[in-house]
Structure 1
Amino acid sequence: MTKTLSLKRFHLGACYYPEQWDKSLWTDDLRRMKEMGFSIIRIGEFAWSIFEPEEGKFEFTMFDDFLEQAAISGIKVIMGTPTATPPAWLTHKYPEVLNVSMEGVTYQHGQRRHYNYSSPVYLELCERITRKMAQHYKDHPAIVGWQIDNEFNCEINVFYSEADHLAFRQWLQKKYDTLEQLNSAWGTVFWNQTYTSWEQVYLTRPTVSGSPNPHQALDEKRFISDNTISFAKLQADILRTEAPNHWVTTNGVFGHLDSHQMTDDLLDFFSYDSYPQFSTIYPDLGDKPLLDRKWSLSLSNVRSMSPNFCVMEQQSGPGGWVNKMEMPSPLPGQMRLWTYQSIAHGADMILYFRWRTATFGTEIYWHGINDYHNQPNRRVAEASHIGQELQKVGQRIVGKHNVAEVALVRDYDNEWDGELDQWHGPLTKQSELSWYKALQYGHIPVDIFMIRPGMESEQQSELSKYKVLIYPHPAILRDSTAAMLQKYVEGGGIVIFGCRTGYKNEFGHCRMQPLPGPVAEMCGIHVEDFTMVNGTASPVSVKFTDQDIDFTAPNFNDILRVQSDTVEVLAHYSSSYYDGKPALTVNRIGKGLVYYWGAAFDLALASELIGRLPVKSPLAGWCQAPSTVEVAVRADAEEELVFLLNYSGEPAEIILSAEAEELLSGSKQTGAIQTEPYGVWILKKEK
C-alpha cells in the first residue's frame, strides 16, 4: 500500500516554538501567519522539559494556552513528540541513555540527539511521555497530526552504548539463529575471527588497521536501521491507539535508516526537510554543477517513499549554527523558487523553518522568515506572495502525481556497504549525479526507484511505468533482484549498468562466478579483467564504433568479453594495455535492452546515451527552455501541469509554439516570453 499525503487543499505554514517566545507575541504571530496565507504550524518537538519538568510530573498549561489561541485563529497544528532532546534531569539520573562513540567516549548532555535507541529506561520514559501527550491532545480541535521525534539519525548515525551492543547480539540471534550461521555470513574464518560464544560478539570496535570486518559492518548498519524503526514504532503504536483520528509522520532523510521500510510500516506519509543552500557548504565540483537545483534529486527520493509528501522544514533564510554551516542569504526570489521546487516534486504541504529566528541557543544564525527585530523584511514579503499564490492555485496542484519515464535505481545494501568498500562506494555518487545532470539539463524528469528485497512481486508491476532504469554500480545484487530486472527487460524495458555490477551476494561476499554475476547472461558479457584508474594513471580513452568522438572511462575499468551473439559492442577502450577491448555493450533480451558500461559514468557519456534512448522531454514539440530551467510534471486524470523552474539569476527565455495557461499569473502565454530571475511558471498546455 502506497503511503501518501492526501489533502483536499494545499497547506503552507511554518515551524513555531511558543516555549521560546513571550506569550505577548503569540496572538500577533498567529494573526500575521493567517494574513500571509499560512494554515499550519509544527510545535513541541524539542519541549520535553516543558511537558515533564520533573520525572513523573506532567505540565500542559503553556502549550494548552497556545493551542487555544491557534484554534481561535484557525491555524492547524502538528505536534512533535519531544524525544529528540531528553531533558537534563533524565540524562543526569539515567546516564545510560546517552550515546557512546566507537572508542567508548560518552556523548554528554548539551546539544541534541545525544541518546541511544536501546536503553530500556529511555524506551520506558519515551513511551510514557508520548502516551501522556497523546491522551491529553487526542481530541484537541487544532491538532491534525503528529511528528515522531525529529530527524532520526541526524547529527550521528552510529551507536555504541552497552545497551546497543546487547541489542545487536539479540538482533543477530534472531537473524542467524546459530553462531555457525553468523560465522558463515561474516566469513570469520578469515584472520581467525571465529566466535564461539554470543558474548564475544559486538558492534564494530576500533581495530589496528581502522577497517572492521566488512560483513559485520554491513550488518551493523542493518541493525541500526531496524533499531531506529523499532524506536519509532514504540511511539507510532501509542499514537495510533491513543489518538486514532490524527495522522502520523516523521521528518528528514539521514544515514543508516531504511526510510522506505519505516514509512511502509509506521507512517501515513513521509516528510522531508529541504535546505537547498547546503549546496554552498557541500558544493558539486564536477562539470556544470547543479548547486541548489541538486536538491531536486533528494526530493525525488522522498517521492519514492510518498508520491505526495510534506516538507516539514523548508529553508527560508541563511543557515548556520554558531560554530558551523555558514550559508549565504537566499537571493530575492530563491525562497519562492525552492518552495515551488518542493511542490514540483510532490510536496502538498510545506512548513518554513522557522517563523522567527531564535535569539538564543546554537541556532541563532539559522534564520527564519522573520528576523530578530520582528519587523517586515523581504523574506516575509516573499512568503506572503507565495501564500497568496497557493491560495489561488494550490487546489489545482494538490493530489497530482509526478510523471517520469526514467528512474535512477538505488538500494540500501549498496549504500551501506559502499561506505566502507572503496572499490565501489565512491562510484555510485559520481555516476548517479552525472546521469541526473544529463537528464536535468535535457529537461527529462526522473524518479528514484528503491529496490526492496522481499518485495519483488509488488515492485515488478511498478517497473512497467518506466522506459529506462539506470542502476549504475550494484555491487551487491541479489538473485531475486536480477530475476525482477530480467522480467522487466523481457517485457520491453531498458536497464543500464556500470562497472562493478553483481560481484557480491547479500552478505557482501564476492561471488565465485564470472562477473557481472547474476546478470552476466542478461548482459551477454563477462568481465575478463579489471583495474582501478587512479593515482598517476592517465585517463583511459574510449571510442564509439559509429562516430569519431573520444570519451573517458574514469575511476574503474571493467574489461569486457562478449559471450552472446545478440550483443553489440558500442565502444572500445582506445588506450592502456586493454586497447581495443569492449568498453560499452548492449544486449537484446526479449523486447528490451541491457547496456553495460565498464566504468563510472560522467556527464559527457550520460548525455550521449540519453540521445540513444527512447525518452524525450515533455517540452518536445511545443516549448523550448534554456538548460538553466528545470522541468517537472504533475498530473491526474483531469489535467497535466508542467513546472518550469529557473535556477539562474538572469531571465530565462521560454518559447511556446502552442498556447498555454500559466497558473500563477492566470494568463495565456504563447511565443517568446522571459521569466524573471529565479522565476517559476506552471503551465497547462491547451489541447
Structure 2
Amino acid sequence: LWTELNQSHIPTDVIWTETLPPEKLGRYRVLILSAARIIPEMEAMLLSDWVEKGGTLIDTGTTSLYNEGGELQDNYSLSKLFGVNYVAHAGEADPAKNDTSCWKNGGPSTLDYEFGLNPVKFRDVIHRDIKPVKSLKEYSLLENATTFMPVPEVGARCEYDMPLGYDKVEPVTAEVIAKFYNGDPAITVNKVGKGLCFMWTPMHPALSHTSSDWEMHPNKLDFWPNAREMLQGMVLGGLKHQGAKLPVETDNLPTEVEITVRSQPEHNRTIVHVLNYDTRQDKVDEYSLTINVPDGKQVARVFYPDTETEINFVAEEGSVAMGLRSFEIHDMIVVQWK
C-alpha cells in the first residue's frame, strides 16, 4: 500500500495508533488500516470519534476481526464504523484453481499458498516473479462509486489473487460501490457523522502486482491495471468529502519519484522533497507542481534552498503552480508563508 500511495504521488506518513493522541490524529484527514487485525477498545473509540468529526478511514480485509488475545471473532470490533457485518472468509479454496506461490521462513523455497485464516500463514511471503493465471478473478466499480471516488472510471476492473482471501460481508448501513465477479462486495463506504469509512474487503489488495527485474529498489512494483488507482480513488474521494486536497499535486512526474511534504511551523514554511528511485535513469526531466495553500496562509516566496534561487510561480485560487528544474536523485523546494 505504501508503494501504491508513493506511485500515486500521495504524501504519506506511517503512524502507530497505540501511541497516537487525539490531537496528533486530528492533523490527518485520511487514515489507512492495512490488515490491522487487532484494534484494542481505546484505539477503536479514538478512531470512531475521529471519523465522526470528519476523517476518512480506509480498511482492508480482517481489520479488527481478532480480539486482543489474537482470537478470531464473530464480527469486527469496528463493525458499526464499517457499516457491515462479517460473514465468512472467502476466496479460492480449490487447489486445482490455485497457482499462487509463496515461501516460508525456514521452509521450502517455493510452495503453493494455502487458502484460509490460519495465523501461521500470515507470515508467508507471496511470490510475484510470475503472475498467477488460475488464481485470478476480478472486481469492478459500480456506477454509484463516482459519488465517493473520482478515479478510476465506472466499470474499472481490478484483478485479485483469490487464494489470498477476502472478507465476505453483509452491508448494514454501508453502500456497496464495487463487487467481485460473484456479486460479493469488494469495496463498501459508510457515512459516519461528518466522515467516511471505506471497507476494502480483500485481505491483501496491494499484492496485485508483478515483480520487476529490480524489485528490491523501493517504489518500483508493476501493479496490475487499476490496483493502484483503487486506493488513489478512495484517498482523493475522502479528501473531496472534506472539501480538501492533497498538499502537493503533479501530473507529469514518473511513478518512481516519491513526494514528501514536511511542515516547519516554527519557521512558517513547508518543505517539499522529491526523491527519484529509478536507478536506470540519469535524471528526472523538468516537471510541474501545484501547491495547495493552507487556510489562512499566503505564499511569500518559493525557492531552492541549495542555491537560494527564487522559483517563479503563478498564483491561482487557493494554490500556486510552478515549473521546476530537472534533477538526478533528490531535490528540495521551500515554500515560505506569510
Secondary structure at the aligned position of 2:78 is classed as helix
Secondary structure at the aligned position of 1:676 is classed as coil
The amino acid across from 2:141 in the alignment is: F
Q: Do the aligned residues in 1 keep the contact of 2:140 with 2:156 (CA within 8 Å)?
A: yes
1:628 match = 256
2:175 match = 568
Q: Do the aligned residues in 2 keep the contact of 1:553 with 1:598 (CA within 8 Å)?
A: no
Asked if residue 530 in structure 1 is aligned to residue 94 in structure 2, the reply is no
2:12 match = 446
Secondary structure at the aligned position of 1:617 is classed as coil
TM superposition score normalised by structure 2 = 0.63
Q: Give the Å deviation of 1:571.
A: 0.7
Alpha-carbon distance in 2 for matches of 1:472, 1:657: 29
The amino acid across from 1:640 in the alignment is: T
* Residue number among 466, 469, 477 corresponding to 2:31 in the alignment: 469
Change (3 A) 1:656 1:571: closer
Q: Give the Å deviation of 1:486.
A: 0.9
Alpha-carbon distance in 2 for matches of 1:662, 1:624: 20
Q: Give the Å deviation of 1:461.
A: 2.5
Where does 1:241-260 land on structure 2 (aligned, <5 Å)?
A: none
Alpha-carbon distance in 2 for matches of 1:571, 1:675: 40
Give per-residue Cα distances to partners, 1:216-258, cap 9 Å, x unaligned.
xxxxxxxxxxxxxxxxxxxxxxxxxxxxxxxxxxxxxxxxxxx
Change (3 A) 1:646 1:583: closer
1:551 match = 158
Secondary structure at the aligned position of 2:15 is classed as strand
More helix by share: 1
Q: Give the Å deviation of 1:633.
A: 2.2
Secondary structure at the aligned position of 2:39 is classed as coil
Q: Give the Å deviation of 1:626.
A: 3.7
The amino acid across from 1:543 in the alignment is: S
TM superposition score normalised by structure 1 = 0.32
Alpha-carbon distance in 2 for matches of 1:450, 1:612: 24
Alpha-carbon distance in 1 for matches of 2:323, 2:232: 27
Alpha-carbon distance in 2 for matches of 1:645, 1:523: 36
Change (3 A) 1:657 1:472: closer
Asked if residue 612 in structure 1 is aligned to residue 263 in structure 2, the reply is no
More strand by share: 2
Q: Which has the higher contact order (CA 8 A, sep 6+)?
A: 2
Q: Give the Å deviation of 1:532.
A: 4.5
Alpha-carbon distance in 1 for matches of 2:156, 2:200: 16
The amino acid across from 2:12 in the alignment is: V
Alpha-carbon distance in 1 for matches of 2:282, 2:231: 27
The amino acid across from 1:636 in the alignment is: P
* Residue number among 310, 320, 337 corresponding to 1:668 in the alignment: 310
Change (3 A) 1:608 1:640: closer
Alpha-carbon distance in 2 for matches of 1:474, 1:656: 34
Q: State how many pairs are aligned.
A: 239
Instruction: Give the structure with higher Rg (CA).
Output: 1
Q: Do the aligned residues in 2 keep the contact of 1:631 with 1:644 (CA within 8 Å)?
A: yes
Give per-residue Cα distances to partners, 1:168-211, cap 9 Å, x unaligned.
xxxxxxxxxxxxxxxxxxxxxxxxxxxxxxxxxxxxxxxxxxxx
Alpha-carbon distance in 2 for matches of 1:542, 1:470: 20
Change (3 A) 1:583 1:626: closer
Alpha-carbon distance in 1 for matches of 2:142, 2:63: 24
- Unaligned 5+ segments in structure 2 are 100-133, 144-153, 207-226, 292-300, 313-321
The amino acid across from 1:573 in the alignment is: F
Alpha-carbon distance in 2 for matches of 1:439, 1:494: 16
Q: Give the Å deviation of 1:662.
A: 0.7
Alpha-carbon distance in 1 for matches of 2:270, 2:11: 14
Q: Give the Å deviation of 1:656.
A: 5.8
The amino acid across from 2:275 in the alignment is: L
Change (3 A) 1:656 1:470: closer
1:586 match = 189
Secondary structure at the aligned position of 1:470 is classed as strand
* Residue number among 614, 622, 646 corresponding to 2:276 in the alignment: 646
* Residue number among 60, 67, 72 corresponding to 1:505 in the alignment: 67
- Unaligned 5+ segments in structure 1 are 1-434
Alpha-carbon distance in 2 for matches of 1:483, 1:675: 47
Change (3 A) 1:686 1:500: closer
Aligned-residue sequence identity (percent) comes to: 23
Q: Do the aligned residues in 2 keep the contact of 1:533 with 1:539 (CA within 8 Å)?
A: no
Alpha-carbon distance in 1 for matches of 2:23, 2:51: 13
Q: Do the aligned residues in 1 keep the contact of 2:30 with 2:235 (CA within 8 Å)?
A: no
1:684 match = 335
Alpha-carbon distance in 1 for matches of 2:290, 2:78: 45
Change (3 A) 1:477 1:436: same
Alpha-carbon distance in 2 for matches of 1:617, 1:509: 38
Alpha-carbon distance in 2 for matches of 1:502, 1:616: 29
Alpha-carbon distance in 1 for matches of 2:247, 2:23: 23
Q: Give the Å deviation of 1:684.
A: 2.6
CA RMSD of aligned residues (A): 2.6
Q: Give the Å deviation of 1:467.
A: 0.5
Asked if residue 490 in structure 1 is aligned to residue 52 in structure 2, the reply is yes
Q: Give the Å deviation of 1:487.
A: 0.9
Change (3 A) 1:483 1:642: same
Q: Which runs of 4+ in 1 moved over 4 A?
A: 656-659
Alpha-carbon distance in 1 for matches of 2:289, 2:336: 10
Alpha-carbon distance in 1 for matches of 2:335, 2:172: 49
Give per-residue Cα distances to partners, 1:257-283, cap 9 Å, x unaligned.
xxxxxxxxxxxxxxxxxxxxxxxxxxx
Q: Give the Å deviation of 1:552.
A: 2.5
The amino acid across from 2:310 in the alignment is: K
